[in-house]
Amino acid sequence: QVQMVESGGGLVQAGGSLRLSCTVSGLTFGFYAMGWFRQAPGKEREGVSCINWSSASSDYADSVKGRFTIFRDDAKNTVYLQMNSLKPEDTATYYCAARRSGGSCQRDMVLYNYWGQGTQVTVSS
């Protein structure tokens, strides 16, 4: 049984930072590309960032480039999203997801097989 547990969300002032973590069990983590997605109230879920199985490639939404960094620690079966210079428009529920893939990562949510339960990020102005 695959389990994906996110943590690290919370309330932060604009300009602040948060680091989200997603620890995975029940699958061979090193075979999976990992993604972070977010969904704000009344909006569609969007792909924020992804990282491929080997950490050789990653991708970011234009809205977060230069502010967010994705990285993974395969020894801990964990993927992280470091979020700096947060803005009120970053407020959303953030989800991690796993995709069995040997190639470069993609931020298309339909490609992902497993999802976490989400963690709330709220950025106050």
Q: What is the pLDDT of residue 101?
A: 84
36-89: pLDDT as tens digits? 999 999 999 999 999 999 999 999 999 999 999 999 999 999 999 999 999 999
pLDDT band at 103 (very low <50, low <70, confident <90, very high): confident
pLDDT band at 104 (very low <50, low <70, confident <90, very high): confident
Tell me the C-alpha to C-alpha distance, in Å, between residue 43 and each of 39, 60, 72, 93, 117: 6, 19, 28, 11, 18
pLDDT band at 102 (very low <50, low <70, confident <90, very high): confident
10-35: pLDDT as tens digits? 999 999 999 999 999 999 999 999 99
